[in-house]
Amino acid sequence: MIVRLSSAVVSESSLGEYLEYLERNESPGYEAASGLVCVLVLQRRFVSYVEVMTLSLWRSEETLKEFVETRSLLNGAQVEHHSVQLEPRIFTVVEFHKCKEES
């Protein structure tokens, strides 16, 4: 399995709009992608900015490559929400343990 981390830094005042943009415009593309295992959107606040990170888990490097080639990820979000897009990073999963469900 492969993990892709992509993130953007947005002002705290733009966070709500940016998250709505992701939900409306980017989430459907991820959900429709072949080979996607799961996707998480994380946030981390610092000073008056927030880093929004998208962590996606893929069955193979080929399915991730196909997804990236067929979509322009976060197209328009940088200008619309005055965000700074950070370079995506890709990792190979070395070990995976299923999370326990709470009862």
10-30 pLDDT, tens digit per residue, is 999 999 999 998 898 888 889
Count: domains in the chain = 1
Query: Which residues, 6+ apart, have CB-to-CB distance to 91 below 8 Å?
Result: 2, 3, 4, 5
Q: Is residue 43 part of a domain?
A: yes
Q: Is residue 21 part of a domain?
A: yes
- Which CATH number does the domain housing residue 52 bear? 3.30.70.100
Which residue segment(s) compose the domain that 71 sits in?
A: 2-92
pLDDT in tens, 89-99: 999 989 887 77
Helix/strand/coil for 9: strand
pLDDT in tens, 63-103: 999 888 877 544 544 445 677 888 889 999 898 877 777 76
Q: Is residue 100 part of a domain?
A: no
